[in-house]
Structures are given as C-alpha cells and as structure tokens.
Amino acid sequence: MLRAIVCIALSAFLLSAAALAAEHAGPGPRAIEASTEAPPSTMADEVERVYAVLGNDGVQRAELTGGDYYFKPRWLVLKINVPVELTVKKEPGFVPHNIVMDAPRAGMVFDVKFDKAGEVIMFTPTMTGTFEFYCTKKLLFFKSHRARGMEGIIEVVK
C-alpha cells in the first residue's frame, strides 16, 4: 500500500513539474542575422549606445558586465574591420553567466563563460549591421537568462 502511494505521489510530482516547465519555457533559439533595418523600437529607445575606444595600437576596446539577468552596456557600437578586445566580467553573485554571439558571416562567433576576474574575447567584425548577444544559462523549470532580459546588441558601423 505504501509503495502505491509513493508511486502515485511521484507521478503527480513529475506531471506537475513537466507542466510547469512547459508553462515557463522561454523562447527557442533565434536566428542571428545582420540587419540594416532599425532594431526594435523598444531596444533602440531604451538603451544608450556605448562606443568602443580605439587604442593607439589600432585595437578597439570595450568592457561588458553581466549580472542579475542584464548586460551593461546592452548596446555596443564597433567599427567594421578593426580588431576588438572585449572584456566581459561578472557582477558578484552565485548565478553563472555566459555570453554568446553566433554571427559567423560577420566574424563574430563566441560562447564564453565569465566570472568576476573577467575574460577577454578577441575578434574582428567583418560586416555592418546589428547582431544579438545573450546568455544561454537556465535553471531547471525557470525562464532562461535570455528570456529574463540578459541580451544585447553589437552594432557594427563603417
């Protein structure tokens, strides 16, 4: 009898967990493509554009910080065909984060886990347009970090 009760309780738990996961599932992967169109007005209107600094050595440098479901800055402007040194750091906390960019035609492909010490990502953008970066981390049964707002734009200009 006890075995039957445990089986029923376990089955009910698994069914409710599956329903909860389906209810809270974030959007699936989005195609990353260059765009010459204006980005969605909500992102463009709410976010300040930050420009990478060009060093005497000809390398653009910028720093991104990731924290509780955000990247700062959320919009980074780079010049085309100029090498980039992007430093990504994590705000103090226990939640792990990464930064993902999947734009091979534009010379920007990376998936880097970062921490408080920071990681340096080097690349050279080869195509103008706007490109999304985001965090792919997700805790079981909860929205992904990206679905919770941990995403941003790299805009490549001439």
| Per-residue tokens: 132 | 């999304």
Tell me the β-bridge partners of 132. 153
Who contacts 87 (Cβ-Cβ below 8 Å, separation ≥6)?
Answer: 61, 62, 63, 64, 118, 119, 120, 121
What pLDDT does residue 1 have?
Answer: 55
Q: What's this model's pTM, rounded to 2 decimal places?
A: 0.71
Token pair for residue 131? 């490109």
Profile the chain (158 residues) by mean pLDDT over runs of 10 residues.
47 40 41 44 70 98 94 97 97 92 97 92 98 94 92 98
What's residue 47's pLDDT?
Answer: 81
Instruction: Write down all domains in the chain, each with its CATH number in brackets.
Output: 30-157 (2.60.40.420)
Strand partners, 16: none
- HSE-CB at 108 with a 13 A cutoff on CA atoms is 32
